Amino acid sequence: MQELVSYKIIDRVQLSHTKVELRDDNIIQFFYGDNINYTMKETEELIDVTVKMTKGITHKMLRIPGKFSTIDIEVMKYISRGKGTLYSLADSFVLFSMPQRLLANFYLKINLPMVPTMFFDEVSKADKWLQSLDTEELRRGHKLRIA
């Protein structure tokens, strides 16, 4: 049985490599493409889209990688501790393959993300975790982090 969707998509952008959706519950969904190596070029495009969609307001992020896609080490550092954290309150990643899980473990151990970060094997679990987090509490923590 499929779970009921409790949000509405209020904005959507389709890039050549990623579909980005802004939801009315303070979550941005990223559906990354298949067979793509994500570099700083794609990451900067995604940040530009995020800033425009949200008008610079921080949101929780649901990230769903494509099949056989990879991410550069430079990008991992950027989204975990660099400017990439300026617009993220929390990150949930949905992983479908063993290589993605290995990369995720490396990401957590080496990059020590500044925002709450979790990995899941189902979209519904990732979504539920994000929804369980208090947006205002995360925003207070975010303000302290960037001050």
Strand partners, 59: 88
Task: Give the structural domain span for 70.
Answer: 9-146
Q: How many domains would you assign to the chain?
A: 1
Percentage of the chain modeled with pLDDT above 70: 96
Give per-residue pLDDT as tens, 100-113: 888 778 777 777 88
Please report, to the nearest 10 degrees, the dihedral formed by the alpha carbons of residues 116, 120, 125, 130 taken in order: 20
Strand partners, 117: 91
CATH of the domain at 46: 3.30.750.24
The reported pTM is 0.88
Lowest mean pLDDT of 46-60, 63-77, 98-112, name the range.
98-112
Give per-residue pLDDT as tens, 30-43: 999 999 999 999 99
Distance separating alpha carbons of residues 58 and 99, to the nearest angstrom: 30
Instruction: State whether the Cα torsion 85-53-2-65 is positive or negative.
Output: negative
Query: In a 10 Å sphere around its CB, with 0-12 CB exposed, 13-18 middle and 19+ buried, how is residue 29 labelled?
Result: buried
